[in-house]
Amino acid sequence: MFLDKVNILIKAGNGGNGCVSFRREKYIAAGGPDGGDGGRGGDIIFEIDEGLNTLLPFKHRRKYIAENGDDGKKRKFHGKNGDDLVIKVPLGTIIRDAETDEIIKDMSTAERFVALKGGKGGWGNKKFATPTRQAPRFAKSGITGTELNVTLELKMIADVGLVGFPNVGKSTLLAYVSSARPKIANYHFTTLSPNLGVVEVYENSFVMADIPGLIEGASEGAGLGHDFLRHIDRCRLIVHVVDISASEGRDPVEDISKINAELEGYSAELATRPQIIAANKSDLGYNEESLKKLSEFGEVYLISGATGQGIDDLLVAIAEKLKTLPPITVYESEKLLEQEEVATDRSTDIDLVDGVYYVTGEWLEKVVGSVNFGDRESLQYFQRVLRKSGVIALLEEYGIVDGDTVDIYGMQFDYEK
């Protein structure tokens, strides 16, 4: 089975929480705080697997979550960092934001891509010790790892794309010129997925792809072509295979016109891509008038996938043509993932309900979780955070006065200027 488009959820690991601990050893007085920091969460990393040519491994698994960092330990022990999660994808996979359809990364090179960075670990109480605050009874929570819904879309990387109606001999041609072994049979839609083969012509080599399923209406979803048209996107050269013998009663000139219309319906730019016409099954005979009309669409080469007639000349022409064409398209990123900015987002919302000011914000929830409200120094730290972050100023803009109640994730207090 072939799968070339799938949606998955990716999530970086959460940072571990800092530890609140004090050194307690015999004969050592006032040991002081020794809580360690939490470990960093694991990253989400995409990597090319040369052995993959389909997204089928993603059919039954749609969530990919990296390991969380461990919490800090006493005796200043740092929590273990979470392991990175490496996701293997085929060469040519495009990663898109599932909501906006923006391109995040085109996996067309061997380099790894860090899609999401793990959350930072929280500080242990050792980090909060100062000459005036020698016994802090609070630590910092770890940062939650970012998550994102992405679409993986495979656009095969090939120099040459073989297009044409079913049963015109595309798979036979690919099998003849390369070591690819596609299924070949004398019925329509024998080929149910694109096949790639490496073709060597003297000192030159190029990758050729057999694109199956193109019929009239393919660009609108008919047949298999709607699913596989995307694989022609990167092809530098299109080799249009037609049955010049008209063995199935179709007009080869009309066939090429219809397929070109489908290419244009899918992408106007694709329709302008250079073409070479491979007039296949010439060993069965052909009409000279049809051959003349085909030349209006591009260079025509009479070939026979069954006997090998004319194929060498076709391959040489393809190799020479490729020398004049620009390299395979690599799509530019349209969206940059700024995980660190997301993780440190200080946006705050305030709602006044029945005289109570409800203050919310993802970062505030983490701060509340790290505060020991039974400890005076911890409370003082919390108050300083509210002032430095602008929460107090924001409350004053909303008209808060002395004695009004403030609620921050269930922790309520009366406001005093």
Give the model confidence (pLDDT) of 160-191 as tens digits.
Answer: 888 888 878 888 888 878 865 555 445 444 44
**381 against 357, higher pLDDT:** 357
* Cα–Cα nearest to 237, from 161, 155, 156: 161
Q: What is the pLDDT of residue 215?
A: 52
Q: Which two tokens stand for residue 390?
A: 């602008």
pLDDT > 70: percent of the chain: 85
Q: Is the pLDDT of residue 202 over 50?
A: yes
Q: What is the pLDDT of residue 6?
A: 92
CA separation, residue 85 to residues 67, 105, 112, 367, 398 (Å): 7, 17, 12, 28, 44
Structure confidence at residue 214 as a pLDDT band (50, 70, 90):
low
* Cα–Cα nearest to 8, from 150, 153, 106: 150
How confident is the model over 333-344, as pLDDT tens digits?
Answer: 877 775 544 445
d(CA 283, CA 239) in angstroms, rounded, equals 19
Q: Report which DSSP code applies to 33.
A: B
Place of tokens 């461990």: 70
Q: What is the pLDDT of residue 189?
A: 45
Residues whose CB is less than 8 angstroms from the CB of residue 396 and which lie 6 or more positions away in sequence, other chains included:
none
Q: Lowest-confidence range among 61-75, 80-94, 116-130, 310-324?
A: 116-130
Q: What is the pLDDT of residue 44?
A: 95
Q: Lowest-confidence range among 37-51, 98-112, 372-386?
A: 372-386
How confident is the model over 86-119, as pLDDT tens digits?
Answer: 999 988 899 999 999 899 999 988 789 999 999 8
| DSSP-assigned states of every residue in 136-161 | -----PPPPPPEEEEEEEE----SEE
Q: What is the pLDDT of residue 232?
A: 78
Q: What is the pLDDT of residue 218?
A: 42
Arithmetic mean of pLDDT, 352-379 = 77
This prediction has a pTM of: 0.69
Q: What is the pLDDT of residue 228?
A: 62
Arithmetic mean of pLDDT, 110-133 = 83
Helix (H), strand (E) at residue 413: strand 411-414
Query: Which strand ranges, in their side-by-side order, compose the sheet holding 356-360?
Result: 349-353, 356-360, 405-408, 411-414
- Residue-range domains of the chain with CATH: 1-154 (2.70.210.12), 160-322 (3.40.50.300), 346-414 (3.30.300.350)
Q: What's the Rg (C-alpha) of the chain? A: 32
What is the number of helices (H) and of strands (E) in the chain? 10, 18
> Measured between alpha carbons, how far apart are the two ends of the chain, in Å?
68
* Cα–Cα nearest to 142, from 369, 409, 342, 337: 369
Arithmetic mean of pLDDT, 201-224 = 65
Q: Is the pLDDT of residue 33 over 50?
A: yes
